[in-house]
Amino acid sequence: MSVERLVEMSLVTAPTASLEVALAHANRLLARDPALAAEQASEILKVASRHPQALMLLGVARSRLDEHQAALEILRPLAIAQPRWAQVHLELAGALRRSGNGSEAIPALRRALELKADLPQAWLALGDHLDAIGDRAGAEAAYGAHILHSTRDPKLMSAAAALAANRIAEAEAALRAHLKAAPTDVAAIRMLAEVAARLGLHEEAEHLLARCLQLAPSFHAARQNYALILHRANKPAAALVELEQLLRLDPANASYRNLKAVVLCRIGDYTPAIELYAQILKEYPQQARIWLSYGHALKTAGAQDQAIDAYRRCAALEPSFGEAWWSLANLKTFRFSAAEIEDMRAQLQLQQLDPEQRLQFEFALAKALEDEALYAESFDHYARGNGLRRGLILYDPEDTATRVRRSRSMCTPAFFAQRAHVGCSARDPIFILGLPRSGSTLIEQILASHSAVEGTMELPEIISMTRVLRQQASAMDSRSYLDALATLDAGALRELGEQYIERTRIHRKTNAAFFIDKMPNNFAHLALIHLVLPNARIIDARRHPLACCFSGFKQNFARGQNFSYSLEDLGRYYHDYVELMAHYDGVLPGRIHRVFYESMVADTENEVQRLLDYCGLPFESQCLRFFENERPVRTASSEQVRKPIYREGVDHWRHFEQWLGPLKAALGPVLDAYPAVPDFPPLATIGESPQCTSPEIENRVARTRLN
* Per-residue model confidence (pLDDT) at position 640: 52
Strand partners, 593: 539
Q: In which band, very low, low, confident or very high, does the pLDDT at 160 lie, cut at 50, 70 and 90?
A: confident
Distances (CA, A) of 475 to 108, 210, 466, 694: 50, 24, 14, 18
Neighbours of 31 (CB within 10 A): 9
Give me the DSSP letters along 475-527.
HTT-S-HHHHHHT--HHHHHHHHHHHHHHHGGG--S--SEEEE--GGGGGGHH
In this model, does residue 111 exceed pLDDT 70?
A: yes
Name the band, by pLDDT with cuts 50, 70 and 90, for residue 11. very low
Examine the pLDDT at 637 and tell me if it is beyond 70. no
Q: Is the pLDDT of residue 260 over 60?
A: yes
Residues 683-703, mean pLDDT to the nearest whole number? 42
pLDDT value of position 631: 56
542, β-bridge pairs: 596
Helices (H), 534-687: 545-553, 567-587, 597-602, 604-615, 661-667, 669-673
The CA distance from 78 to 59, in Å, is 9
Higher pLDDT, 181 or 415: 415
Q: What's the CATH code, domain 422-671?
A: 3.40.50.300
Mean pLDDT of the chain: 88
Q: Quick one: 258 exposed, middle or buried, by C-beta within 10 A (0-12, 13-18, 19+)?
A: buried
Report whether 385 contacts 363 (CB < 8 A). yes
Top-ranked range on mean pLDDT: pick from 48-52, 68-72, 580-584, 603-607: 580-584
- Mapping DSSP to helix (H, G, I), strand (E, B) and coil, where does residue 594 land? strand
Judged against a pLDDT cut of 60, whether residue 12 lies above it is answered with no
Tell me: pLDDT of 698 over 80. no
Q: What are the beta bridge partners of residue 233?
A: none
Residue 432, phi then psi, degrees to nearest 5: -115, 120
Cα angle at 354 between 351 and 359, to 5 degrees? 100
Q: Is 200 helix (H, G, I), strand (E, B) or coil?
A: coil
How would you classify the pairing of strands 537-542 and 429-434?
Answer: parallel
3-state secondary structure string, 268-287?
CCHHHHHHHHHHHHHHCCCC
Q: Which is nearest to 215 in space by CA: 251, 250, 189, 180? A: 189
Helix or strand (DSSP H, E) at 249: helix 236-249
Cis peptide before 681 (omega within 30 of 0): no
pLDDT at 101: 87
Which range among 180-194, 221-235, 569-583, 633-647 has the greatest average pLDDT?
569-583
Tens-place pLDDT, residues 171-227: 999 999 989 988 998 989 999 999 999 888 888 999 999 999 999 999 999 999 999
Please choose, from the candidates 3, 57, 5, the residue with its C-alpha nearest in 3D space to the C-alpha of residue 34.
Answer: 57
Task: Give the per-residue pLDDT at 608.
Answer: 96
Of the pLDDT bands very low, low, confident and very high (cuts 50, 70, 90), residue 22 is confident
Find all residues with CB under 8 Å of 147, minimum gap 6, and list them: 160, 163, 164, 187, 190, 191, 194
Predicted local distance difference test score (pLDDT) of residue 691: 38
Determine the pLDDT at residue 50: 85
Residue 1 has pLDDT above 80, yes or no: no
State yes or no: pLDDT of 639 exceeds 80.
no
pLDDT (0 to 100) of residue 48? 84
Distance CA 106, CA 121 (A): 13
How far is it, in rounded angstroms, from Cα 201 to Cα 105? 34
Close Cβ partners of 483 (under 8 Å, ≥ 6 residues apart): 410, 473, 476
How many whole angstroms separate alpha carbon 523 and alpha carbon 521?
5
pLDDT of residue 696: 39
What Rg, from alpha-carbon coordinates, does the chain have? 29
Q: Letter for the amino acid at 111?
A: R
3-state secondary structure 380-413: HHHHHHHHHHHCCCCCCHHHHHHHHHHHHHHCCH
Closest by CA position to 91, among listed 75, 103, 77 = 75
Contact 281, 274 (CB under 8 A): no
pTM of the complete model: 0.81
pLDDT digits (tens, 9 = 90+) for 640-684: 544 566 666 678 899 999 999 999 999 999 999 999 999 999 886
When mean pLDDT is compared across 4-8, 188-192, 683-687, the lowest value belongs to 4-8
Specify the pLDDT at position 707.
37
Domain boundaries, the chain: 422-671
Flag whether pLDDT at 6 surpasses 60: no
DSSP 290: H
110, 100 contact by CB (below 8 A): no
From the number of C-beta atoms within 10 Å of its C-beta (0-12, 13-18, 19+), residue 681 rates as exposed
Q: Does residue 693 carry a pLDDT above 60?
A: no
- Per residue in 508-537, pLDDT (tens digit) is 989 999 999 999 999 999 999 999 999 999
Would the pLDDT of 5 be above 50?
Answer: no
Strands 453-457, 514-517: parallel, antiparallel or unpaired by DSSP? parallel
